[in-house]
């Protein structure tokens, strides 16, 4: 028997040996019951350590291609696993539910001038600090045993309670908090826990599609309610709305904060009708003007508000960590829904985040990157005013993007496509409307470095003016 094995890639020697031996078995070069060379001999012939060959043989054995016989050596199995068709059955008579039938669009491709929405800058992520905290969790000194609390790691819940108390004035103890996989899961769990199928839920128009989608998936009839300069028009709420999703700090996507009067009015409306409110506070950590308005959660005395926060903007969406602060019995119900949905959040990242909060590094990080985003925002607003005076910028005081209303004759879809071809990624407002949209654009400054902002806006302006 002669096997040709050629090993090249350092660090991959055992993997190479395994793959070549496996290929030889599969294509018949090594026959069933053939004895493989002694590990010592093959290692010498290939000038590698014997461990490398032992490793390759062990994997062949583990995966059914070879068997070890005590005292005799390693042999190709009598019936190695046959080559398999490569795919699951390509057709199936099973029909998914209508709501899940549309293919998920791929994540947006990056652009040279990228005004992506709601994405923080990975270059600002505290890589070293986070790597240290995560690695510490995996040292195995306090090994995690089995399954954990559905509501989330107690240390993280306590840390978040303190953090949002200080940063946002939110009233919360650890027991009021449920850790979620980003804000999206918070919407999903709230919709599951609060809504019976067929009930009415209200969302802002325009509004955040992920929230609308989660409410619809729970079987709700979702009604869009118009937003004006003060936020959601409370008088336009359908009288039977059971659950209302709002973004009071930084309306998504328009950007205006909800006025205090409107906040009070919304709370009174919910109290009178026994409705629940989702306060989606997705990016208010970055505040650029004035004192923040009191969150609905702070104004709520009767237990109608579920406050949703996320670490996707202050740290990274890739972490998938968010939370809900829930009143009364709802925190326990959300934990129950979380257990049913996916058990609990991964443990080690929760503990790393708790440490990041507890030693003050998160607050410091937010302050540091907030200064950078403040600078980018000022440049973007100045560039828009200078290059695109025909757009009316929507006043805002927080967040990672700004919006601008265009003349209703502007074809923003075409503008966005032209801009993309010119290397500039911006979003039209239209996709955030369920009904008749206003013409306009939303531009994020989370991803684009300050020096590129002017050129990016100039290119965008050229796309509009050349049309």
383-412: contacts with its own copies (CB under 8 A): none
Residue 10 interacts with its own copies (CB under 8 A): yes or no: no
Provide CB contacts within 8 A for 423, sequence distance 6+. 111, 112, 113, 459
User: Which contiguous run of DSSP H or E holds residue 205?
Assistant: strand 200-205
Angle at 98 between CA 94 and CA 99, to 5 degrees: 125
Judged by CB under 8 A, which of 104, 239, 409, 435 binds its own copies? 104
CB 306 within 8 A of CB 326: yes
User: Which contiguous run of DSSP H or E holds residue 299?
Assistant: helix 296-299
Residue 181 interacts with its own copies (CB under 8 A): yes or no: yes
Provide CB contacts within 8 A for 90, sequence distance 6+. none
Q: Give least dist CB 190 to its own copies, A.
A: 10
Provide CB contacts within 8 A for 126, sequence distance 6+. 315, 356, 361, 365
**Please, which residue, 80 or 206, has the CB nearer to its own copies?**
80
**Hey, what are 94's tokens?**
């099973």
Residue 25 interacts with its own copies (CB under 8 A): yes or no: no
Segment interacting with its own copies (CB under 8 A) among 169-177, 233-241, 258-266, 434-442: 169-177
Q: Give least dist CB 354 to its own copies, A.
A: 14
**Please, which residue, 150 or 442, has the CB nearer to its own copies?**
150
Question: Binders of its own copies among 117-146, rule CB under 8 A?
Answer: 118-119, 122-123, 125, 127, 130-131, 134-135, 138-140, 143-146
Judged by CB under 8 A, which of 44, 302, 408, 465 binds its own copies? 302
Q: What are phi and psi of 189, to 5 degrees?
A: -70, -40
Counts for the chain of helices (H) and strands (E), in that order? 14, 16
Residue 278 interacts with its own copies (CB under 8 A): yes or no: no
Question: Binders of its own copies among 315-344, rule CB under 8 A?
Answer: 316-320, 325-337, 339-344
Judged by CB under 8 A, which of 35, 46, 67, 149 binds its own copies? 149
Segment interacting with its own copies (CB under 8 A) among 260-268, 359-367, 427-435, 456-464: 359-367
Q: Give least dist CB 142 to its own copies, A.
A: 10
Q: How far is CA 17 from the centre of its chain?
A: 39
Q: What are phi and psi of 147, to 5 degrees?
A: -85, 155
Judged by CB under 8 A, which of 8, 78, 102, 435 binds its own copies? 102
Residue 182 interacts with its own copies (CB under 8 A): yes or no: yes
Q: What are phi and psi of 185, to 5 degrees?
A: -70, -30
Segment interacting with its own copies (CB under 8 A) among 45-53, 214-222, 383-391, 457-465: 214-222
- C-alpha 317/C-alpha 392 separation (Å) is 30
**Helices (DSSP H) in 63-177: which residue ranges?**
127-137, 154-168
Query: Tokens 């923040």 identify what position?
Result: 292
Q: Give least dist CB 335 to its own copies, A.
A: 5
Q: Give least dist CB 405 to its own copies, A.
A: 25
Question: Binders of its own copies among 57-96, rule CB under 8 A?
Answer: 58-59, 61-64, 81, 84-96
Residue 360 interacts with its own copies (CB under 8 A): yes or no: yes
Residue 288 interacts with its own copies (CB under 8 A): yes or no: no
């Amino acid at each position: 028997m002669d096997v040709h094995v050629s090993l090249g890639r350092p660090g991959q020697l055992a993997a190479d040996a395994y793959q070549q031996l496996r290929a030889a078995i599969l294509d018949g070069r090594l026959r069933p019951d053939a004895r493989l060379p002694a590990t010592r001999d093959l290692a010498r012939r290939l000038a590698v350590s014997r461990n490398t060959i032992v490793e390759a043989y062990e994997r062949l054995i583990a995966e059914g291609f070879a068997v070890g016989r005590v005292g005799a050596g390693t042999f190709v199995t009598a019936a190695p696993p046959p080559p398999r068709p490569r795919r699951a059955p390509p057709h199936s008579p099973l029909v998914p539910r209508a709501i899940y039938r549309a293919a998920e669009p791929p994540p947006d491709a990056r652009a040279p001038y990228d005004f992506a929405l709601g994405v923080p800058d990975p270059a600002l992520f505290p890589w070293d600090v986070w790597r240290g905290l995560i690695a510490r969790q995996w040292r195995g000194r306090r090994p995690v045993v089995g399954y954990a609390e559905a509501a989330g790691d107690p240390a993280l819940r306590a840390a978040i309670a303190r953090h949002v108390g200080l940063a946002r004035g939110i009233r919360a103890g650890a027991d009021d908090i449920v850790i979620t996989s980003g804000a999206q899961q918070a919407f999903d769990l709230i919709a599951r826990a609060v809504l019976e199928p067929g009930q009415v839920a209200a969302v802002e128009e325009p509004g955040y599609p992920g929230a609308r989608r989660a409410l619809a998936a729970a079987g709700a009839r979702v009604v869009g309610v118009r937003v004006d300069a003060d936020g959601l028009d409370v008088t336009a709420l359908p009288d039977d709305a059971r659950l209302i999703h709002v973004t009071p700090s930084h309306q998504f996507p328009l950007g205006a904060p909800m006025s205090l009067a409107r906040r009070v009015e919304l709370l009174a409306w919910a109290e009178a009708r026994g409705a629940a409110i989702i306060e989606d506070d997705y990016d208010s950590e970055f505040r650029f003007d004035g004192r923040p308005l009191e969150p609905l959660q702070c104004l709520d005395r009767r237990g109608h508000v579920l406050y949703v926060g996320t670490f996707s903007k202050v740290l990274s969406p890739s972490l998938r960590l968010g939370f809900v602060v829930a009143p009364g019995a709802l925190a326990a119900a959300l934990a129950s829904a979380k257990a049913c949905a996916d058990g609990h959040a991964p443990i080690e990242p929760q503990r790393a985040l708790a440490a990041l909060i507890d030693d003050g590094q998160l607050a410091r990080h937010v302050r540091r990157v907030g200064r950078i985003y403040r600078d980018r925002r000022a440049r973007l607003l100045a560039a828009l005013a200078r290059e695109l005076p025909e757009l009316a910028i929507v006043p805002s005081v927080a967040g990672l993007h700004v919006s601008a209303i265009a003349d209703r004759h502007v074809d923003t879809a075409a503008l966005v496509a032209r801009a993309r071809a010119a290397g500039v990624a911006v979003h039209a407002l239209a996709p955030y409307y369920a009904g008749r949209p206003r013409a306009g654009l939303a531009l994020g400054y989370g991803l684009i470095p300050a020096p590129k902002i002017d050129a990016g806006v100039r290119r965008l302006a050229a796309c509009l003016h050349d049309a």
